[in-house]
Amino acid sequence: MTRSIWLALLAAVGLAGASVTGSATRGAAQDGAIKVAEAKKGEPKGGAPRGVAPKTVAPKTVAPRTIAPKTIAPKTVAPKTIAPKTVTPRTVAPKTVAPKTVAPKLAPKTVTSPKTVAPKAITGAKAPAAGGVKQVTLPKGATPRPVSGPGFRGIRPASTGRIVISGRNYTVWRGAHRARWGGRWVTFAAIGTLGLIAYGGANYYPYAYVSAVGPACEGLTEDGCVMQWQEVETIEGPSVFQCVAYCPWQ
């Protein structure tokens, strides 16, 4: 009797639950159908949804990743020691060269002591020997050479002066005269030791040495003297050419 009651109660409870579940399911289906119908009413004819708010998506925040630096220990390299290279110095024996003896091709020149020439003594004026006066002939038509100033008469005895002949300046010596000739020094004797010359029938006396040379020492001067380029003896011995002025006075 009791078991029958319990079975009847369980069946009644099951029917009540099924009724409640079916009512709920029907209610939910009806609500869904109503919502779909309302949504379709708000859609445009083209079919696109209208009045839908855009969906906002929050950016994803990614936390930065921290990477610890990798520490590399320095590599220690031991220094390489190179032993110095020792070079043994090379000893070279000096080469001995025997001196070469060259025989002289020419016999040595023997230099003798210089020849000593005794000075030639000339004393006094040479007296003209008979017919010993030298006759001088000057070119015909030759005009006397112009002389500036007092001429030869202005040079004092045994002195040195200057004279202008035909516009050229010359040195005049009336005493002993020393000059450079042929690379050596020569000394002329006193002018009075020279001989006389004859010109135009008159005797002319040696008056002075003149520095004129060659053709410049020829002819008659305006003051009446004759210039002659001639050989003159020297105290050293040899004779050399020198210009001598001969005048009609002493």
Q: What is the predicted pLDDT for the residue at 48?
A: 47
Structure tokens at 107: 């016999």
* Residue at 194 is within a domain: yes
Tokens encoding 128 = 């003209």
Task: Tell whether 18 is covered by a domain.
Answer: no
Residue 29 lies in a domain: no
pLDDT below 50 — which residues of the chain?
A: 18-25, 27-29, 36, 39, 47-49, 106-131
- Asked if residue 60 belongs to a domain, the reply is no
Q: Which domain holds residue 222?
A: 135-247
Q: What pLDDT is attached to residue 97?
A: 63
Tens digit of each residue's pLDDT (9 = 90 or more) over 159-202: 999 999 999 999 999 988 888 888 889 999 889 889 999 998 89
Q: What is the largest CA-CA distance in the chain?
A: 231
Which pLDDT belongs to residue 227?
A: 95
At residue 180, φ and ψ (nearest 5 deg) are -90, 125
Whether residue 30 is contained in a domain is answered as: no
Answer whether residue 212 is part of any domain.
yes
Average pLDDT, the chain: 73
Task: State how far the Cα of 174 lies from the Cα of 200, in Å rounded to an integer.
Answer: 24
Q: Is residue 198 part of a domain?
A: yes
Please count the structural domains in the chain: 1
Domain membership of residue 143 (yes or no) is yes
Nearest 5°: the CA angle 167, 222, 181 is 60
Element (DSSP H or E) covering residue 180: strand 177-181
